[in-house]
Structure 1
Amino acid sequence: MLVAQATNTPSGTQLRPIDTLRDSVRLAAGLTENKLLGNDAYQRGLAAIRRFGERIRGFDPANVRAVATNTLRVAKNAQQFIHDAQQALGFPIEVIAGVEEARLIYIGAAHEVQAAQGNRLVVDIGGGSTEFIIGKGYEPKLMESLYIGCVSHSIRFFPKGNIDAHSFKEAELAARREIQVISGAYLKSGWNQAIGSSGTARALAELISANDFNGHTDGLTMGRVNASGGLITRDGLRAMKKHLLTYEHISQVELLGLKDDRRSVWPGGLAIMLAVFDELGIEEMEVTDAALRTGVLYDLLGRSQHHDMRYVTVEQFIQRYSADREQATRVGKLASEFLQQLPKPKTESRADNIALLQWAASLHEIGLSISHNSYHKHSAYIAGNADMPGFSKNDQARLAALLIGHTGKLGKLANNSGFHDWRMLFCLRLAQVLCRGRSDEDLPKVKVSDEDGAYQVSIPKEWAQIHPLTEFSLLKEAAEWNRIGRSYELNLK
């Protein structure tokens, strides 16, 4: 966990870290063969999060962001763990997609390493996945997340800590096969600076330096060590591998600076890093400790300063799928007006809900680019499964549910116990019905209310009489809500 202060400078706002908490939980090591998070790891994770929660107790929720990565992307009981962890932390926890993790890692690394001309390559080896990003300045361009990580790789190829040349070769080849899928595009793009971010890269750089695996010391004292956290070289990695293979078990390995919490996962991380160097033709890599946590904070800072990546993503989707921008704006504006007439939520942010509702309105017709028939299903599928920078998995799931439900039958959501955005759906569906003519003209003054889950819509009777299609559609809408057991009354006054 990283706690930082935002400081305004002449060149912009910077984050100054004031507190860091680390707890080596190794959730990935707790995954069973059936992809369930085992009880020991489950409880270790909750205990760590509970301690973190004490440190940030009383923080403004708008200033806190907690994200979960690969292990909770794949664990079958991740939803239950997230529920318990949120209670322990006292703040929401977002499960983010691999590409979103890559984007945030790049933002964090780019803000901390020294500037370089041209493209940068950032590689982050985590416990269960490895992220590869090429970007320029602060903007990522190519982003991939592969299912190879130091914990999962060590468990797979070095079970019980046993080491031999054959197993290490298999670990390298397995990692190379994964990297080969993306290497062509990355090599074609090219880069002028290679950066290793976060724990595995930092640990490898420290071991190379402390044990003189380069065969000399002056190569590590060129300003880059102190400035960016260290340096990894191809020769250093090979020397480290040669040293490792002189032992039969990880518990026997003697290395200066090898920490106990890294000992069991170090061989997997080393094999992956060697594969990265070989497949991408890297000779040396600078290292920075700044990665995901720093990127999450800068992204959070951007949201508070109205540089929210989610707005950029929605804009890109509108362009990509040639959505009718005027209609999207029309529906979003009207739906937001309806939501503001309803009681404020007790536990959620009204501003966040309005933003989500407007994003849903912006994207509700993107499925038309595939087919008019059942277009809402296509819209929902895209929003639920596409890479959407800035959005968490939960954000995308909520968006997809609003899109699948914005027209048609409601039974598909009535049977979904996890769907809670009924008010937003009510507003979106009503706005969509009223805007069917795709015109700003002649819309009546509509009043809405929600009393204990009973919706009421009031429309001038005179207007309804000269708009019989809209009146008919609203009566059908009321019948659909009542059919699933939710009261909906249309008042013509």
Structure 2
Amino acid sequence: MAYELIAAVDLGSNSFRLQVGRIVANQIYPLDGLKEPVRLAAGLTADKRLDAAAQHRGVAALSRFAERLRDFDQGAVRAVATNTLRVAKNASQFLEKAEAALGFPIEVIAGREEARLIYLGVAHTLANPQTRQLVVDIGGGSTEFIIGQNIDPIHLESLYMGCVSFSLRFFPEGRVDKRSFKEAELAARRELQTIVHAYRETGWDEAIGSSGTAKAIVDLLELNGFSDHGLTREGLEKLRNELLHAGEASRMKLQGLRADRIPVLPGGLAIMSAIFKEFGLERMAFSEGALRLGVLYDQLGRYHHDDLREATVNRFMQRYEVDRRQAARVAHTALGLLNQLVPASHEAEHPDAQFLVWAARLHEVGISVAHSSYHKHSAYIIANADMPGFSRRDQARLSRLVLAHRGKLERAQPLRGEAPEWTLIFCLRTAVLLHRSRDDQPLPPRSAAFTRNGFQVKLGAEGLDALPLTAAALDDEAQQWSGIGSELRIHRDA
């Protein structure tokens, strides 16, 4: 599908943001954007649950975004959520309300996937992308670190420290003194020590900051004469002294100090100061590109058949030495069954068809661990590995499909009521069963249809008579569906 306008929504731990972009000749030109200082991370309770007030702020902000997006097609908008919704125990409850308010699905992305998208956004703003960049993005609940060159990341990391979480932890009620600032800085340096050696060993030519914290600090340094351009070690020291002298960010008399940044400035400044010290930086430039622009360019790649998820699936097949011929057989047959059941799945990039094919191609990755219960190993790998391009929800969906491709159907009970998922499970299980011989022997003619309470498969009797093991397995499969209150009718055509 070709779109002229696309949009990205970023549910950050500090702010929610909307960015609309126009596609012109495979480039994205940012148009209008909206920002809401939700401070979602401030609503995390001690037991990692989002309180009602934070949820209300978030839903209200998304309702306002929905007004701007009301004329957008579903495929033209991508919404992603970051650290706070990665860690909140009641994230699913909030997301249900959030999606209803926004009118579009929301993906919770892993930390390294967030880092990848940040770098993709920054890389498209660089004047000299051939040099090696260290990109730092201090968010509300996490900080991402990327070393990359051109549009290709080399290192991707996400650390659990952000301007909101550190401000709440070390500067409650906004008060700042030398002791609390030192404690915050040391805590950040301890986190950084887990990655700094590998990053320094790789090296970089230029350091770049992105997103709100870096932008806020750059503005304060430049507007108040602490730095001529960008972030500098000397400028950070001057800003730190100003903050300590004032005792609270709200008391600072500085140009460019925005009201929405006052509560989170101490934590953000402590983290940035620690980064300069641990990485040995003297200067850092600022880029307007970040997560939202990266999401837009990632969407653009999907529209033009340059979907990173395809590359990820191929890498997994290679890494886990998947039998590619068997995977192709299963994928072809499963997709053929889906096309019969859901004619719309013939369309290019139909989402259910994509997930079915990916599940078919990955269903045997667990064999690399052990043949016994390999479907469980496959499901675990898919659910827990870093899979660039896939959201957590995507990975969970793939994992559930793969887990259900063999064995007892009771394992798929949490999906009950989700009709498309049962359809995909039927297609995948049937395809795996039909290709149990793992050869290129032609399959009997077949067709699939829905029944009132399940599925029906018609198979050519002559071809099936030559496959007694497959025929017996199909009868057993019918018992599996009966066991969960559904049905699978097997018809043998004469």
Fold match (TM-score > 0.5): yes
Q: Does 1:141 align with 2:158?
A: no
Q: Does 1:79 align with 2:95?
A: no
Q: CA deviation at 1:80?
A: 1.1
Partner secondary structure for residue 456 of structure 2: strand
Q: CA deviation at 1:441?
A: 2.0
Worse-superposed segment, 239-248 or 47-56: 239-248
Contact 2:129 2:151 in 1 (8 A): no
Contact 1:199 1:289 in 2 (8 A): no
In 1: Cα distance, 2:176 partner to 2:416 partner: 48
Worse-superposed segment, 432-441 or 95-104: 432-441
Worse-superposed segment, 36-45 or 349-358: 349-358
Q: CA deviation at 1:418?
A: 8.1
Q: Does 1:411 align with 2:410?
A: yes
Structure 1 counterpart of 2:233: 234
Distance 1:418 1:389, change over 3 A: farther
Contact 1:117 1:192 in 2 (8 A): no
In 2: Cα distance, 1:349 partner to 1:127 partner: 38
In 1: Cα distance, 2:375 partner to 2:299 partner: 31
Match for 1:32 among 45, 48, 56?
45
Q: CA deviation at 1:211?
A: 1.2
Q: Does 1:14 align with 2:27?
A: yes
In 1: Cα distance, 2:367 partner to 2:195 partner: 31
Distance 1:339 1:36, change over 3 A: same
Distance 1:419 1:134, change over 3 A: farther
Give the aligned residue type for 2:58.
G
Aligned runs of 1:159-308 on 2, under 5 Å?
159-214=172-227, 219-220=228-229, 231-308=230-307
In 2: Cα distance, 1:397 partner to 1:274 partner: 37
Partner secondary structure for residue 195 of structure 2: helix
Contact 1:123 1:132 in 2 (8 A): yes
Distance 1:442 1:139, change over 3 A: same
Contact 2:445 2:463 in 1 (8 A): no
Match for 2:102 among 62, 83, 89?
89
1:105-131 Cα deviation digits (max 9, x unpaired): 000000012114331111000000000
Q: CA deviation at 1:465?
A: 1.4
Give the aligned residue type for 1:257.
G
Q: Does 1:45 align with 2:58?
A: yes
1:296-328 Cα deviation digits (max 9, x unpaired): 000000000000000000000011111111111
Partner secondary structure for residue 387 of structure 2: coil
Contact 1:195 1:286 in 2 (8 A): yes
User: How much is the aligned-residue C-alpha RMSD, in angstroms?
Assistant: 1.5
Q: CA deviation at 1:18?
A: 1.6
In 1: Cα distance, 2:81 partner to 2:344 partner: 26
Structure 2 counterpart of 1:448: 448
Contact 2:123 2:129 in 1 (8 A): no
Q: Does 1:459 align with 2:459?
A: yes
Q: CA deviation at 1:416?
A: 4.8
Give the aligned residue type for 2:428.
L
Contact 1:413 1:419 in 2 (8 A): no
Partner secondary structure for residue 373 of structure 1: coil
In 2: Cα distance, 1:350 partner to 1:313 partner: 16
Match for 1:102 among 99, 108, 115?
115
Give the aligned residue type for 2:281.
I
Q: CA deviation at 1:58?
A: 2.3
Give the aligned residue type for 2:147.
I
Distance 1:415 1:299, change over 3 A: closer
Give the aligned residue type for 2:207.
A
Contact 1:65 1:296 in 2 (8 A): yes
Q: CA deviation at 1:243?
A: 1.2
Partner secondary structure for residue 21 of structure 1: strand
Q: CA deviation at 1:475?
A: 0.6
Give the aligned residue type for 2:36.
D
Q: Does 1:399 align with 2:412?
A: no
Partner secondary structure for residue 265 of structure 1: helix
> Unaligned 5+ residue runs, structure 1?
221-230
In 1: Cα distance, 2:66 partner to 2:47 partner: 30
Give the aligned residue type for 2:142.
S
In 1: Cα distance, 2:415 partner to 2:72 partner: 33
Distance 1:380 1:122, change over 3 A: same
In 2: Cα distance, 1:74 partner to 1:66 partner: 18
Distance 1:20 1:115, change over 3 A: same
In 1: Cα distance, 2:128 partner to 2:252 partner: 37
In 2: Cα distance, 1:296 partner to 1:318 partner: 25
Structure 1 counterpart of 2:336: 337
Structure 2 counterpart of 1:352: 351
Contact 2:276 2:282 in 1 (8 A): yes
Partner secondary structure for residue 450 of structure 1: strand
Structure 1 counterpart of 2:135: 122
Contact 2:233 2:283 in 1 (8 A): yes
In 2: Cα distance, 1:273 partner to 1:209 partner: 16
Give the aligned residue type for 1:2.
Q
Contact 1:157 1:168 in 2 (8 A): yes
Moved over 6 A (4+): none
Q: CA deviation at 1:453?
A: 4.0
Partner secondary structure for residue 124 of structure 2: helix
In 1: Cα distance, 2:249 partner to 2:316 partner: 49
Distance 1:466 1:3, change over 3 A: same
In 1: Cα distance, 2:429 partner to 2:415 partner: 18
1:168-227 Cα deviation digits (max 9, x unpaired): 00000000000100111111111111110111101111100011123xxxx42xxxxxxx
Structure 2 counterpart of 1:2: 19
1:62-109 Cα deviation digits (max 9, x unpaired): 111011111111111110111111111111111111110000000000
Q: CA deviation at 1:452?
A: 3.8
In 1: Cα distance, 2:414 partner to 2:98 partner: 26
In 1: Cα distance, 2:348 partner to 2:175 partner: 51
Give the aligned residue type for 1:109.
V
Structure 2 counterpart of 1:372: 371
1:338-380 Cα deviation digits (max 9, x unpaired): 001113589x997111111111011100101110011111100
Distance 1:88 1:415, change over 3 A: closer
Give the aligned residue type for 1:60.
D
Q: CA deviation at 1:61?
A: 1.1
Distance 1:345 1:74, change over 3 A: farther
Contact 1:116 1:192 in 2 (8 A): no
